[in-house]
Chain A
Amino acid sequence: KDTFEGDQVLRITAKDESQLALLHDLSEMEMLHLDVWRGPTDVATPVDIRVPFHSLKSVKAYLEARDVQYTIMIEDLQAVLDEEQTQMRMASRAAE
């Protein structure tokens, strides 16, 4: 079973077209194993990327070195999944 401990979802905001191009490049870096939830389209639309724990340092360094703004949308994906599973179990017990 795959888990997502320590994986984060970053919401990244490009301030201009050149930063948008940098995000395009980032999303195509296969070795980082990124999962692009919402890809780069225009500067008005944020980009959401699930970043595996092992790639967090590289991705954040890449963004910070290029002055690209981001926030952490989901701090620990596995924690949210665990919460979802707990809710499902509770709902299932209530139904029983």
Chain B
Amino acid sequence: PRNTDAFDYSNYHTINEIYSFQDMLVAENPQLVSKIVIGQSYQGRPLNVLKFSTGGTNRPAIWIDTGIHSREWVTQASGTWFAKKIVTDYGSDPTLTAILNRMDIFLEIVTNPDGFYYTQNNNRMWRKTRQPNSGSSCVGVDPNRNWDAGFGGPGSSKNPCSETYSGRSAHSESEVKSIVDFVKSHGNMKAFVSIHAYSQMLLYPYGYTSTPTKDQKELHALASKAVKNLTSLYGTRYRYGSIINTIYQASGGTIDWTYNQGIKYSYTFELRDTGRYGFILPANQILPTAKETWLAMMTIMEHTNANTY
């Protein structure tokens, strides 16, 4: 495609096609979108973050990431659609316009680029990073067990061959460390949404402990509202609640760390589907998935904008 209008959002794309898409979007919308490289993956791929901003310095911000588990292809595809949606709706959708007039949005579409490349060329079911583990023939760390929040506890594995291997130490993966450094240096993140697939859930902290967060009531009510709006489009059924109560105990997870950093509106999605396809979601499901998820995203972003803290 020569521009982002011609990009086929209804199909899955290679990593280079997504990198090109990002550059096109920036070139087409220089007043609104910029690209920040927050680091490099283990294999040297850039960790690109799109920044949507209407100006100002260090504004309160919303973080969205997709594809930290590389095989969850509908997430990278949805992230690409979100990026285009933001530039299309800014100036025409009053809610998004109000958000962007006060806040910045950061979007990392391919959070685990080495893994994503590997799913497209070697092993479609690859979930982890691609950093070798010394003393083991098994490669990679689960980047959603590598955060410094109950690191190495129940719901993560110390075995490098496991799909939930936590890594040798918290933030050992550059894909994770780069976000940690960026979030800390930014210092004004107000919402953090990490997007996974599948099983149709909207989750909030914690995953490593059954102790509820001090904001549980508000997070639960907001999740309920977001899910209601998501379901209104196609009737897709979602469950919501804390990670440990709704899916399973998981230590070292992304949003437990972000919440403990003081980012109150920390959520993680599990997008379509309920089990017929798992991670092999047919391409004709991409647009419905992205569109319904966007309604929930907007609910969270609007609430964040209206409830500064």
Main secondary structure of the interface of A (DSSP, over half): mixed
Give the chain A neighbours of B278 by CB distance below 8 A: 9, 37, 48, 50, 73-74
Q: B15: CB under 8 A from chain A? A: no
A78 to chain B, nearest CB (A): 9
The answer to whether residues A37 and B162 also contact, given A1-B122, A91-B8, A91-B11 and a CB cut-off of 8 A, is no
Number of A-B contacts (CB under 8 A): 65
B115 to chain A, nearest CB (A): 13
Give the chain B neighbours of A36 by CB distance below 8 A: 163-164
Number of chain A residues whose Cβ lies closer than 8 Å to a Cβ of chain B: 29
Main secondary structure of the interface of B (DSSP, over half): loop
A21 to chain B, nearest CB (A): 13
| Cβ-defined contact, B276 with A73, below 8 A | yes
Least CB separation from B164: chain A residue: A36
CA distance A74 to B198 in the complex (A): 15
Q: A38: CB under 8 A from chain B? A: yes
B160 to chain A, nearest CB (A): 11
| Cβ-defined contact, A84 with B247, below 8 A | no
| Cβ-defined contact, B8 with A11, below 8 A | no
CA distance A63 to B198 in the complex (A): 24
Interface string of A42-83 (1 = CB under 8 A from B): 000110101000000000000000000000011001001100
Q: B224: CB under 8 A from chain A? A: no
13 A-B Cβ contacts within 8 A? A30-B161, A35-B125, A35-B127, A35-B163, A39-B248, A40-B248, A50-B278, A73-B276, A74-B278, A81-B124, A88-B11, A88-B12, A88-B283
Since A73-B278, A80-B277, A80-B280 are in contact, a sample of 6 more A-B pairs with Cβ atoms closer than 8 Å, ordered by chain A residue number, is A1-B122, A11-B275, A30-B159, A41-B247, A48-B278, A73-B275
